[in-house]
Structure 1
């Protein structure tokens, strides 16, 4: 063996063995962690069938997610180690056939192979555990969705049925006895443990609650108002920050007041173990009810119209404010009643009756709110005979009414759980929507205020990093869009939270409705159709929101002109529509590979019957891309001249001088010659042509022209005005003058003003002005006129004695 090669092998062995030795404990540690994770996953799988309530399932879900994160961390840890081992194997190279390697080299190959095998096995095991954990999480969500479907489909008996009332009466003695025992347990605990120490603690808790609710709350209101007025940045962020401040203190102070009372009772030992859970529920419901009340107050602000976020009047705010109090009270009492029934363990008929009452109160509250909104909207119309068209509000109100009627009917038929779930979900959705509106308004105001060219942070970015003002404004708008998108996603998950583990569980519930029918390779089911329609509406709504954001928020902050902004908006619109349709078809189960057949069939129709439409569509795309004509250009097509107002994909709208609209197919703008007077140099040229007698002072005329041009500030200095004598004819000098204005649209009125001024000055100076003389020569006789008989000898043109400059009559004379 070559001594140099032997030395290199020893060096590799000396450096590889310690590294391999270091890898072994790390791999062993990860393997032990994966073993524990596998054991934990098995325990979760065993506990899933016996988990009956949401709390237990959520705990199992959290444990499964922890296992999934452990597996992912193991993969992240071992992947670099595998790369190192593979690099060492590559350095060592493949064994040469027929060559006997040194024992140290063979040992190194064996150790590296063992290490690579161990790490690879651990990575595969970690990935498998991660997949199993994900499947376990999906199984828990499916179990929740299945149980929710069973609860919603459970018929507990119609409230109108005598059987239901008879069951309530039969169970009333036992339910009342349980309630009595529950109350006596707390009274006994209170009587046994109440002493001076407990009384002092309770008194301190009540006083603390009163301080939090009355003086501290008023003082914090004033502090927030003064800070927003005197110290907060100017603009809309003052109002949204003040509204958010009202929600924070309006939620925290009543909640901490309830917590102070419960804590004082527990500190004195006045709460029995059976009532300890009731105290925790009481505190949580107090926080949420206070949040609902403060949210309504912050958005409505009855007595502070200038600080109000909602675009409504004082009358509407006064009319709607009591409903936020009613909603808070209904949520507090209704949830407290349901929780009390669960703690006591009342009978099923009594629990169903309580749920029916709570559901009915929710339905009545929502119906009253809808009626009030309808009356306010009708009162705000300027002309009741011509109602305003607001399709979105009308659709939402109609859908809510339909859902309320369905919930009310389901409750009467005995599906009380379904009615309660739907009614409370509508109230919950309204709360989430109001919270989303407040947070989106505050986020947009904060981002666009802090990251603006007029703010200190924007000026610092401009001076320190060289970021121009437009870029700073764009960053603020983009950051606001990203933050609001995250808020929308969180709100979507929060809205669907009552139906299980979030959005996924809800769609899984809808996915089990029917199997559907199969047409070719596509399976169409009612759930798939509804999902496709929902996806289409959501995608179109996102597209419209994006277009609205582009037009009103982002594009105004850029340096693009109106034409470029229109091009970006139109391209984004049609791209969004195409993406929405493709997304909807994908949700229906029709992928791109299946659309290829349909597109192939359409190509035949396009080739024969849709040539003009396709030509105009492609021409519209060319116009939007190359922009030979853009919004605001002054163009002339044939004998028509006007301003380009809108460029669509199929046609272009041009407003002519009489304010009518000329619809021009886009192919005309691409294939035919048009004159764009504002494309390259958007300046207008004024041309004046007239003649004066040669006896007049032509220099004076020229000076008067230049003076008239100079007096008009609309006339540009560059290009400079020009005055020419075009020709001399019939004893008159023909002037041809040119001046330039900023826009072709200004040329005609400025030309008229110049003519008025010059004509007045010429008349005062006694200068005769006329038009250019027109010379007309008749060649040959007029059609139909008799030809006179002439002697060739008397033809003047053939008379050699006539002077060529003389008149023929004079020559004859």
Structure 2
């Protein structure tokens, strides 16, 4: 019992401390304190003379401080909302009313918490701004250092002072080189004596195995796989090229890592040689990438698999250049690494830069001369260049310009600038080749995976009911998005030799990923994806509800087709509006902002979208009042037909020749139309004919009524009828009526009746005719009028004279 009491007492004592440690406000304040200390240390370490690697490390730390500040500010803003909500629950202080002590204490505590949180938020925002400014300052210092190095001028290699300085410092540089080499030989000897030789030999064996049997086996396996498994389309070629590029880059890089790792494991690398070893690994990676890209794109032994539109002669001529580019890159990287690691003199550094620049200049000059010869051969063979050569001509001219600038810089003493420009040409070529291969691969992969007849399309079509065209469109859109990201990444890598531009680019991308504030709305890629997902779910729900209404619920009601269509259309557009509003809310745009936007656009909508708005409102009126509904037989101008579909913009009417007449809804609301089936769906047949005076009218009546009764389409109710209309010019004019169940049956039934009437009455000796009309002349002007008025002749209609 005593032990239990002590345990409870210890828990009671530790509870406030534990609660204090787990308080989110206190935790955020402590995190801001730590971030502030980190910022102070970064600011103290940055003195403007840091190396490139040191400056990059400081930039990364400053970016981490900014990210911490941003995260904690977001958490504190949530806590501030909670405190404000609690304050709102208490309500304002009522004048003249004395509150209880606990309410007063609660108000005081909440006020203190709000003050603490508000101060912490302001502090976090300030810290984030300061960290961002420090990051920019470090990046600017890197850019300034790069500019200073590029503008550094030494004596021209054509002058004697350049060589005299090199000779003067040669003994010192020789001693440094000898001591540097001696340090490594000593490390190797020490490693052998201490038993490190097996590790080094193992690294060499693994490196050789990776370069030769493993690489060749993987290349053959990839070629065999694409031939046997990949469909016979563009993906087969791009897939093989991508596989060869990846294997040709990664496997030699792993071999270099294995080689260096074996020597490290055997303690055969001196500490001073560690930068050289690291630079050797990087140089092997870049050299392997160059050779792998050349082999994957040129495909000398398999021209049918070649992605680049080049002839066999051009591919054979360019392939050795890729090996030379890889060799020059490897040699130049190692020379620069040795120079920096041994601490060479300024003249030796300039000499190494000059040698590396000469190697790159010779390499680029070789390529330009070879490319010019290839184009000349093409012109001789085909009498003209094939295709549009403007882009190639521009790139060739730009390369010649950069090469000339590099040569001039080298001759005038700007050796570092010359080396940079010459190496930059090779770097651009590597980026362009990689981007070309990746763009083709991404497009072919997306087009194949999301093909409308592929397995993925079958899965989504049969499993989720998605249209195949929609899946195909998704593949095209995904390909465009991925290729855009590749282009942006390539643009950043192009700027990589200038310093920290790649990290600046990715910093901008990360800043965009955190959100872009437009007015009072923050839009981020996550919010866009969330809104797209919400919109997709909303559209899926709307589609399901409409399908249920059309196929299940509405057919079970007693509503006609027009009413069912009206309900389905109103439900559909209501659901679409709600889904869009839901998506906008997920994007962070509230209803009040939407209303403000609509009010701002009201003038533009009133003028620019007047016709669309009019048709939309007219469509809603048609769906609500239903003066015209689906299935009605209407006449508009000289066209008539069945109403097949009513949407919110237009109405579709199928006319007699089976074509579709699309009428804007505003025409149905604002103009006169004839709806033959609105009040009564029956169709009326009218017959007008005449017989000579003296004909047995009862016989005519009986024969006509018999013809009516013989027609199955003629209804008994209302009954058919025949009337004597007029007697004129010695003829009796009849007017007969009959009804059918639909206006659509009028034309055919009337034709059948006329056929029988024109055959049976003449057989009975009854002469048929039409109501006589005559043309009279009044003052020399023709006019069409009936010559009989009220059964008597009008003498004023006869011409005078």
What TM bracket, shorter-length normalisation? 0.5 to 0.7
Task: State the match for 2:40 in structure 1.
Answer: 42
- What is the TM-score normalised by the length of structure 2? 0.59
Task: State the match for 2:408 in structure 1.
Answer: 409
Contact 2:275 2:337 in 1 (8 A): no
| Structure 2 CA distance for partners of 1:233 and 1:121, relative to 1, 3 Å | farther
Q: Give distance in 1, aligned partners of 2:238 and 2:363.
A: 28
Task: State the match for 2:356 in structure 1.
Answer: 358
Instruction: State the Cα distance separating 1:203 from its structure 2 match.
Output: 2.8
Task: State the match for 2:390 in structure 1.
Answer: 391
Task: State the match for 1:464 in structure 2.
Answer: 463
Task: Let me know the Cα RMSD of the aligned residues.
Answer: 2.9
String of CA shifts for 1:391-446, please: whole Å, max 9, x gaps.
Answer: 22212211111111111101110011111111111211111111111111111111
Contact 1:145 1:505 in 2 (8 A): no
| Structure 2 CA distance for partners of 1:271 and 1:86, relative to 1, 3 Å | same
Q: Give distance in 1, aligned partners of 2:481 and 2:385.
A: 40
Instruction: State the Cα distance separating 1:22 from its structure 2 match.
Output: 7.3
Instruction: State the Cα distance separating 1:27 from its structure 2 match.
Output: 1.2
Instruction: State the Cα distance separating 1:503 from its structure 2 match.
Output: 6.4
Task: State the match for 1:368 in structure 2.
Answer: 366
Determine if the alignment matches structure 1 residue 102 to structure 2 residue 109: no
Q: Give distance in 2, aligned partners of 1:230 and 1:387.
A: 35
Task: Provide the secondary structure at the position in 1 that maps to 2:152.
Answer: coil
Contact 1:145 1:499 in 2 (8 A): yes
Determine if the alignment matches structure 1 residue 167 to structure 2 residue 165: yes
Determine if the alignment matches structure 1 residue 425 to structure 2 residue 424: yes
Q: Superposition pairs for residues 79-228 of structure 1, below 5 Å?
A: 79-195=77-193, 197-228=195-226
Instruction: State the Cα distance separating 1:262 from its structure 2 match.
Output: 2.0
Task: Provide the secondary structure at the position in 1 that maps to 2:169.
Answer: helix
Unaligned runs of 5+ in 1: 1-17, 507-617, 627-678, 683-813
| Structure 2 CA distance for partners of 1:55 and 1:77, relative to 1, 3 Å | same
Task: State the match for 1:605 in structure 2.
Answer: none
Q: Give distance in 2, aligned partners of 1:225 and 1:481.
A: 28
| Structure 2 CA distance for partners of 1:69 and 1:265, relative to 1, 3 Å | same
Q: Give distance in 1, aligned partners of 2:304 and 2:195.
A: 50
| Structure 2 CA distance for partners of 1:470 and 1:406, relative to 1, 3 Å | same
| Structure 2 CA distance for partners of 1:370 and 1:680, relative to 1, 3 Å | farther
Task: State the match for 1:271 in structure 2.
Answer: 269
Instruction: State the Cα distance separating 1:97 from its structure 2 match.
Output: 1.3
Task: State the match for 1:6 in structure 2.
Answer: none
String of CA shifts for 1:760-805, please: whole Å, max 9, x gaps.
Answer: xxxxxxxxxxxxxxxxxxxxxxxxxxxxxxxxxxxxxxxxxxxxxx
Determine if the alignment matches structure 1 residue 442 to structure 2 residue 432: no
| Structure 2 CA distance for partners of 1:266 and 1:90, relative to 1, 3 Å | same
Contact 1:255 1:286 in 2 (8 A): yes
Instruction: State the Cα distance separating 1:344 from its structure 2 match.
Output: 0.5
Contact 1:24 1:115 in 2 (8 A): no
Q: Give distance in 2, aligned partners of 1:387 and 1:261.
A: 47
Instruction: State the Cα distance separating 1:174 from its structure 2 match.
Output: 0.8
Q: Give distance in 2, aligned partners of 1:501 and 1:196.
A: 42
1:323 to 311, 317, 321: 321
Task: State the match for 2:249 in structure 1.
Answer: 251
Instruction: State the Cα distance separating 1:66 from its structure 2 match.
Output: 0.5
Contact 1:228 1:241 in 2 (8 A): yes
Contact 1:171 1:347 in 2 (8 A): yes
Instruction: State the Cα distance separating 1:389 from its structure 2 match.
Output: 4.8
Contact 1:378 1:384 in 2 (8 A): no
Contact 2:176 2:344 in 1 (8 A): yes
Q: Give distance in 1, aligned partners of 2:247 and 2:349.
A: 35
Task: State the match for 1:764 in structure 2.
Answer: none
Instruction: State the Cα distance separating 1:238 from its structure 2 match.
Output: 1.8
Task: State the match for 2:287 in structure 1.
Answer: 289
Task: Provide the secondary structure at the position in 2 that maps to 1:454.
Answer: coil
Q: Superposition pairs for residues 530-609 of structure 1, below 5 Å?
A: none
| Structure 2 CA distance for partners of 1:178 and 1:68, relative to 1, 3 Å | same
Greater CA radius of gyration, 1 or 2? 2
Q: Give distance in 1, aligned partners of 2:199 and 2:87.
A: 73
Contact 1:450 1:457 in 2 (8 A): yes
- What is the TM-score normalised by the length of structure 1? 0.59
Contact 1:186 1:275 in 2 (8 A): yes
Instruction: State the Cα distance separating 1:148 from its structure 2 match.
Output: 1.1
Instruction: State the Cα distance separating 1:196 from its structure 2 match.
Output: 8.8
Task: State the match for 1:343 in structure 2.
Answer: 341
Tell which deviates more after alignment, 33-42 or 266-275. Answer: 266-275
| Structure 2 CA distance for partners of 1:386 and 1:35, relative to 1, 3 Å | closer
Q: Give distance in 2, aligned partners of 1:421 and 1:276.
A: 24
String of CA shifts for 1:609-655, please: whole Å, max 9, x gaps.
Answer: xxxxxxxxx99xx9xxx9xxxxxxxxxxxxxxxxxxxxxxxxxxxxx
String of CA shifts for 1:71-130, please: whole Å, max 9, x gaps.
Answer: 011012112211111111111111111211111111111111111111111111111111
Instruction: State the Cα distance separating 1:195 from its structure 2 match.
Output: 4.3
Tell which deviates more after alignment, 361-370 or 428-437. Answer: 361-370
Unaligned runs of 5+ in 2: 1-15, 506-606, 616-658, 663-801
Task: Provide the secondary structure at the position in 2 that maps to 1:269.
Answer: coil
